[in-house]
C-alpha cells in the first residue's frame, strides 16, 4: 500500500523515532508499504518518520535498475570519516535540491527485515542517503543544514504551496 508522505514544514517530521524492540509481521508489512511508497514517489530513500510512523526504520535503493533494496531497522552509524558535499533532495521537500556536507564514508549497524543484525560500510550516494534518512529518525530534515535565509525562503514557498492546495 502506498502511504502518504509528510511534507516540510509538517511538525510531525520533527518527532524522534522509537527503537523497534522486535521485528514482527506488522513491522515487515510497514517495510513493504514503505518500499512501495518509495518506489512510487519515486525516491531513493524513505524513513518511517516521513510516513508518520515514528519507528527507527529506513529503506533505500540507490541503484539505477531499482533492484538493490536495503532495509535498516534500528540503524546506528558506528564509524564515519572524510567529508563529501552532495546535492540532495527529499520526498518530504518536493522539487527542492541543495548541497549538503556529510561524512564521505560510513559504517552502519542495523537489523534487516527479518530482524537479523548486519553491518555495512558505504561511501558515495549510498553513504549520503543513509545519513539523510537517519537524520529523519531524529527529527532532522536536510534543509536544517542550509543557511537561515535559504530555510526561510523555502518555508515561505512550502507554506504558500500548502495554502494553494488548501
Catalytically annotated residue among 7, 81, 88, 133: 133
Name the pTM for this structure.
Answer: 0.96
Domain 11-165 fold: Peptide Deformylase (3.90.45)
Does the annotation mark 133 as catalytic? yes
Length of the chain: 166
Using the predicted structure, report yes or no on whether residue 17 has a pLDDT greater than 80: yes
- The reported pLDDT for the residue numbered 62 is 97
Q: Hey, what's the cell of 113?
A: 527485515
User: Do the beta carbons of residue 125 and residue 100 sit within 8 Å?
Assistant: no
- The reported pLDDT for the residue numbered 145 is 95
The predicted-structure confidence for 138-165, as pLDDT tens digits, reads as follows 999 999 999 999 999 998 888 888 888 8
Average pLDDT over every residue of 114-138: 98
Q: What is the 3-state secondary structure of 49-92?
A: HHHCCCECEEEECCCCCCCCCEEEEEEEEEEEECCEEEEEEECC
Amino acid at each position: 500500500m502506498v502511504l502518504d508522505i509528510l511534507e516540510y514544514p509538517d511538525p510531525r517530521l520533527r518527532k524522534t523515532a522509537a527503537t523497534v524492540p522486535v521485528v514482527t509481521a506488522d513491522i515487515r508489512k510497514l517495510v513493504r508499504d514503505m518500499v512501495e511508497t518509495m518506489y512510487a514517489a519515486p525516491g531513493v530513500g524513505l524513513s518511517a518518520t516521513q510516513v508518520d510512523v515514528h519507528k527507527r526504520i529506513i529503506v533505500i535503493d540507490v541503484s539505477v535498475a531499482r533492484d538493490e533494496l536495503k532495509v535498516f531497522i534500528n540503524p546506528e552509524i558506528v564509524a564515519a570519516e572524510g567529508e563529501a558535499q552532495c546535492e540532495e533532495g527529499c520526498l518530504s521537500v518536493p522539487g527542492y535540491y541543495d548541497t549538503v556536507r556529510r561524512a564521505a564514508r560510513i559504517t552502519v549497524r542495523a537489523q534487516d527485515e527479518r530482524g537479523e543484525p548486519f553491518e555495512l560500510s558505504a561511501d558515495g550516494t549510498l553513504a549520503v542517503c543513509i545519513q539523510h534518512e537517519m537524520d529523519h529518525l531524529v527529527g532532522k530534515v536536510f534543509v536544517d543544514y542550509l543557511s537561515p535565509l535559504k530555510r526561510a525562503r523555502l518555508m515561505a514557498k512550502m507554506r504558500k504551496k500548502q495554502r494553494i492546495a488548501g
